[in-house]
Amino acid sequence: DAGVIQSPRHEVTEMGQEVTLRCKPISGHNSLFWYRQTMMRGLELLIYFNNNVPIDDSGMPEDRFSAKMPNASFSTLKIQPSEPRDSAVYFCASRTTGTVNQPQHFGDGTRLSIL
Amino acid sequence: GNSVTQMEGPVTLSEEAFLTINCTYTATGYPSLFWYVQYPGEGLQLLLKATKADDKGSNKGFEATYRKETTSFHLEKGSVQVSDSAVYFCALISSGAGSYQLTFGKGTKLSVIP
């Protein structure tokens, strides 16, 4: 079975540019999570969706960040305009919401570098 | 609120040494506990889990026991290999207030040398 698929794997762009990260969750999973990982802050939850609806976006750092989930098989995280401090690895994860002990399954991440 | 505290790294061990990575937690309700592993350049993978007190999760020679009395979930392996070099994250999920968010520790980097 395919896991969580993220694209691109690497992105290098100049500050001020718009960046769009993409995620395809595991089929049948109805919760989706976006995380950011840096050396300084570790792993941070940015936002998560249940059944395509954003539930908690309190981790989104600024208005420059936005996330959408137009359907059950696709989500985007957008940064506009991007800044060097946004450089990090961004992970998407998905899970089913049947019981509390269902684990999250992670993609391989997008390594973002803002110059 | 929920929180997870795990031992600071990095941890460097020789091959075949015994491994312990300490993890303690605070949580509302009755959390489920997890260990995730992150190999270089990859995402996090579930290593093992335990869903109630005294449960023991195990996988690939790793074990952890859910200790409610000490609010701990320490990761152990009797004989580590070079291929175990990775970052290990302790995490919990609690269904308080209908939320299913994972709360992670900061991660412990393990390096195993031949």
From first to last of its 114 residues, what are the pLDDT tens digits of chain B?
A: 889 999 888 999 999 999 999 999 998 778 899 999 999 888 999 999 999 999 999 999 999 999 999 999 999 999 999 999 999 999 998 765 556 678 899 999 999 999
Radius of gyration of chain B (CA): 14
Q: Which two tokens stand for residue A75?
A: 């989500």
Determine contact: B34 vs chain A, CB below 8 A.
Answer: yes
- Give residue A103's pLDDT: 86
Residues of A in contact with B93 (CB under 8 A): 100-101
Least CB–CB distance from B100: residue in A31, A42, A105:
A31
pLDDT tens-digit readout, A6-49: 999 999 999 999 999 999 999 999 999 999 999 888 899 999 99
- Give residue B99's pLDDT: 60
Range A93-106 average pLDDT? 84
Shortest Cα–Cα distance, A47 to chain B (Å): 10
B24-28: long-range contacts (C-beta < 8 A, 24 or more apart)?
A: B24/B70, B24/B71, B24/B72, B24/B73, B25/B71, B25/B72, B25/B73, B25/B90, B25/B92, B25/B103, B26/B1, B26/B2, B26/B71, B27/B2, B27/B3, B27/B71, B27/B92, B27/B94, B27/B96, B27/B103, B28/B1, B28/B2, B28/B94, B28/B96
Determine contact: B6 vs chain A, CB below 8 A.
Answer: no
What whole-number distance in Å separates Cα of residue B82 and Cα of residue A22?
33
- Give residue B26's pLDDT: 93
**Which of the four pLDDT bands, split at 50, 70 and 90, describes residue A69?**
very high
What whole-number distance in Å separates Cα of residue A24 and Cα of residue B7?
34
Pairing of strands A65-71, A74-79: antiparallel
- Determine the residue of chain B that is closest to A40 in CA distance: B106
Residues of B in contact with A56 (CB under 8 A): 99, 101
What whole-number distance in Å separates Cα of residue A64 and Cα of residue B49?
36
Is residue A99 pLDDT above 90, yes or no? no
- Give residue B39's pLDDT: 94
**Least confident stretch, A57-61, A74-78, A110-114:** A57-61
What whole-number distance in Å separates Cα of residue B73 and Cα of residue B79?
19
